[in-house]
A and B are shown apart, each in its own frame.
Chain A
Amino acid sequence: MNLPDWMLLLQWGDAGWGDEMVRGMLMTLAVAMAAFLLGIVIGTLGAALKLSRYMLLRLIGEAYTTLIRGVPDLLVIYLLFFGGSMALMTVARMFGYEDYIELDAFAIGTIALGTISGAYATEVIRGAVLSVPKGQIEAAKACGMSRFLLFRRIMVPQVARFALPGLGNVWQLTLKDTSLISIVGLVEIMRQASVASGSTQKPFTFYLTAGVLYLILTAFSNKGFGLAELWANRGVRRA
C-alpha cells in the first residue's frame, strides 16, 4: 500500500512527525490554559483596582491595561524573556553567583501570556461588574448583607455570567498568542511546525497541519464556552 507523502510525514512514532505535532498541540493547550487562568486572576485584581475608590489604585490599574494592551504582544514577551533572565542574573551576580541561570520556558511563557491576557480580562470583568444593576447591591445592603456575602451571593454569580462571552474571546486570543512564545524555545504547535518544515523542506504539509490543530482546539473550546454559557444562563429566561 502506497501512502501519500504527507501521510508518511505525519505518521506516528520515530518515522514521522505525527506524535511530535500532537505533543506540540498539548503544549499549546497547557500554556494557554495556565496563562488564561493566571489572566483571570490578574484580571480580577485589575478590575478591582480600576473600580477602586482610591485614585492611586485606579491609576495603577489604568497604567497596566493601557501599557499591555497598547504595545505589541511580541514586545512584552521579548522583554520578559530576555530582560527577565538578565535582571535575575544581575541580581544573582550581586550575591556572587556567577553561573548561568536558566529560566523555565514554560513559566516564562505562562507569565508573559498571562500578563497579556490579564489586561484584556481586566476590561471584560470590569464591564461585567458594571453590568450588575445597582438596585440589587442597594437591596443586599438593605438586607444587612456583609461585604463578603454581597460579593459571594450577588456579585460573583452575575459577574461570571456577564463576563463569559468576553472571556471566551480572551481565551481564543490567548490560545493564538501561544504561537508567539515559540521564540522562548517552548516546543508548541508553531515551533514544532517550523522545525519540521525546515528539517524536511515540506512547509505546506506542516503549516497546514498546524492550522488544523489550532482549528481543532478553537472548535472544541467554542463548544465548551457555549455549554458554560448555557449553564450560567440556566436561571435566566431569554427574551
Chain B
Amino acid sequence: MKRFLTALALASIAFGGAADAKDFKAGSKVRIATEGAYAPWNFTDSSGKLDGFEVDLYADLCERMDVQCDLVQTAWEGIIPALQAGKFDAIMAGMSITDKRKEVITFSRSYMGSPASFVVVKSSPLASLSAGLDALTLADVDAKEKAGLDSMKAALKGKTVGVQISTTHENFLNEYMGDTVTVKTYDTQENLDLDLVAGRIDAALASLSYWVPLLEGEKGKTMAMVGPKMDGGPFGNGVGAGIRKDDQELADMFTKAIDEARADGTIAKLSKQWFGFDGTPKE
C-alpha cells in the first residue's frame, strides 16, 4: 500500500505535476493538512473540533511566517499524493522526516524530536545511573557528551537491555553498545515492560513519548527513567512539515519560524503541555 502511494506520488510528478511552484511570501494563503486522528499530535474532540500539539503549533508558526493559514483535515492514506496534487501546501501530521519520504517531498527542519531514554526498576543498582547530562544529541557528539556516553556504556557493561524489535532503539543499542551489553528484543513493548518488572532484564530502552504516560500511571510506579534523553543520530530526524519539492521557499519559511519558536521556548511549552516532556529538537 505504502509503495503504491509512493508510486502514485511519483506518477503525479511525472505527469507534469498540476501543482506548479507558487510564490509564497508574507500575506500568502497557506493550506496546511492534518489528519485529526493521531492523539496527542492532532486529533478531533467529541464536538468535532481539531485539537492537539500540531493544531496549537501551526497557529503559532503561521503568525511568525505572517501568512494566512487554513487547516484542512484529510485522511492519512494518500496524504502525500494529495500534497502533490496541490490540495494543500504543507503537511503537519506527526510525519517523521525519513529518507524514503524525502525522495518525493521536502521537509522543513524538525519541530519535534523523537527522544529516547533508559528505564530501570527503582530498586535496581542502575537506578543511580547518570551520564552527567540531561540531554544527548547523537548527531554531533562533543567531548562532554562523549564522556557521558562512555560512562553510561561502562555502567551498563555486562547487563541485559531490552528493546522492541526493528526499532530505532534497537539500532542504537547495536551500534553504540552492542559489544558490551546483551541486547534482548521483544515483539511488543508490553512484553518488554513485564520482563523488566520481573527482573529478566536490567534496563529497557524506548521513546519518551511511550515512557512518560506509562511512568505516570499505575503500571509504571515501580519504574524510573535514568540517564540522559537521547536524540538525533540513529534515533531519527524528528518530525517536520512536509512540503512539495517545488516550494523550497515555503520550507525555508517554516524552518525559520520553527527556529524562532524553538529559541523562545514555544515548542518546549507546547510539547510539555501535550506530551508531558520537552521534546524540542536540537540543531
| A185 touches which of B37, B39, B45, B73 (Cβ 8 Å) | B73
A198–B38 CB distance below 8 A: yes
Q: In whole Å, how far is A30's beta carbon from the nearest beta carbon of chain B?
A: 18
B40-79: CB near A (< 8 Å → 1, else 0) gives 0001111110000000000000000000000011110110
| Contacts between the two chains (Cβ within 8 Å), count | 77
Query: For chain A residues 145-198, which have a beta carbon within 8 Å of chain B?
Result: 182-185, 191, 194-198
B123-138: CB near A (< 8 Å → 1, else 0) gives 0000000000000000
Interface of chain B, helix or strand or loop or mixed?
Answer: loop
List, in ascending order, chain A residues with CB within 8 A of B87's CB. Answer: 85, 100, 102
Interface size class of A (residues with CB under 8 A): 20 to 34
- Taking A14-B46, A199-B44 as contacts, is the C-beta distance between A86 and B77 under 8 angstroms? no
Q: In whole Å, how far is B75's beta carbon from the nearest beta carbon of chain A?
A: 5
B36–A199 CB distance below 8 A: yes
A20–B46 CB distance below 8 A: yes
- For the complex, is B217 an interface residue (Cβ under 8 Å from A)? no
A82–B46 CB distance below 8 A: no
A197–B18 CB distance below 8 A: no
Interface size class of B (residues with CB under 8 A): 20 to 34
A182–B78 CB distance below 8 A: no
B39–A183 CB distance below 8 A: no
List, in ascending order, chain A residues with CB within 8 A of B45's CB. Answer: 199
| A198 touches which of B8, B15, B31, B39 (Cβ 8 Å) | B39
Query: For chain B residues 1-46, which have a beta carbon within 8 Å of chain A?
Result: 8, 12, 15-16, 18-20, 31, 35-39, 43-46
Which residue from chain A places its CB closest to the CB of B37 in the assembled complex? Answer: A198
Q: Which residues of B contact A (CB under 8 A)?
A: 8, 12, 15-16, 18-20, 31, 35-39, 43-48, 72-75, 77-78, 81-82, 85-87
Q: Which residues of A contact B (CB under 8 A)?
A: 9, 14-17, 20, 78, 81-82, 85-87, 89-90, 93, 100, 102, 182-185, 191, 194-201
